[in-house]
Amino acid sequence: MPTDTIYGLVGSAKNQETTRRIYGLRKRDFRKPMIILIGSLNDLKSFSVKISPKTKRLLNKLWPGKVSVILPCPSKKFSYLHRGTKTLAFRLPRPKFLRQLLELTGPLVAPSANLQGLPPASTIKEAKKYFGAKVDFYVNAGKLNSPPSTLISVRNGKISVLREGAVKIRI
C-alpha cells in the first residue's frame, strides 16, 4: 500500500507472526529492524518508548513528515521488532488518510515493497512482480516517485543522520 513516501509492505507492528511473515516475504535480514508507522506521538508509549522533553520538542518539529526516527526501546517484549538493537524506528506520516488508517489499525511495520537489495516498487505492478499472490491485498495509488524517508537516530537529544532521503536534515 502507499505510505507517505513509497509503497510499503505493511502489517500490524503488534503481531509477531505478521512481522515474521513480512521478513520472509521480503527475504529481509532478520537482524535488521523495520520502520513502524504511528498515528500519533502517544503510540510511542505502547512500545515502552520514553522520550525526554528535549526529544519531544524535536519530534514535534520533524513530525508529521517523511523522517523516520530511531529511538531507544529496551523492552524485551518488543525484541521481535528491535532484533536485539534495543531501538525502534518510527515515522508519523503527514497524509491525513494514513494517520486516520493508523488510528484504526494501530501502528504498522512498513518496510519498502521490494525484496531486500532490489529497488522499491514504485507501482502496484512492480510490487506484484515481487510478491504476486503472497500478499493479502494491494492498494493502488498510481506511481509513487518520492525518495524513501530520511532516517535519523536520536540519543540524549542529539541527532545522527543515517540515511538522507525525502527530507534534508540540518544539524
pLDDT digits (tens, 9 = 90+) for 87-106: 999 999 999 999 999 999 99
How much of the chain is helix, strand and coil, in % rounded to 5?
Answer: 35, 20, 45
What's the pLDDT tens digit per position in 24-83? 999 988 888 899 999 999 999 999 999 999 999 999 999 999 999 999 999 999 999 999
Nearest to 70 by CA among 10, 157, 4, 155: 155
pLDDT at 141: 96
pLDDT at 89: 96
pLDDT at 126: 97
Residues paired with residue 2 on neighbouring β-strands, in sequence order:
7
Query: Do the beta carbons of residue 81 and residue 13 sit within 8 Å?
Result: yes
The pLDDT of 122-146, averaged and rounded, is 96
For 24: left if phi > 0, alpha if psi spans -120 to 50, otherwise beta; the answer is: alpha
| Amino acid found at 129 | K
pLDDT band at 8 (very low <50, low <70, confident <90, very high): very high
Please check the confidence at residue 145 and state whether its pLDDT lies above 90.
no
| Displacement of CA 103 from its chain's centroid (Å) | 15
The pLDDT of 123-145, averaged and rounded, is 96
pLDDT at 28: 86
Whether the predicted model's global pTM rises above the 0.85 cut: yes
Domains along the sequence of the chain with CATH: 11-163 (3.90.870.10)
C-alpha cell at 138: 494491494
Return the number of other C-beta atoms located less than 10 Å from residue 35's C-beta: 23
Cα–Cα distance between 168 and 114 in angstroms, integer?
24
DSSP per-residue string spanning 48-110: T----HHHHHHHHHH-SSSEEEEEE---GGGHHHHTTSSEEEEE--S-HHHHHHHHHH--EE-
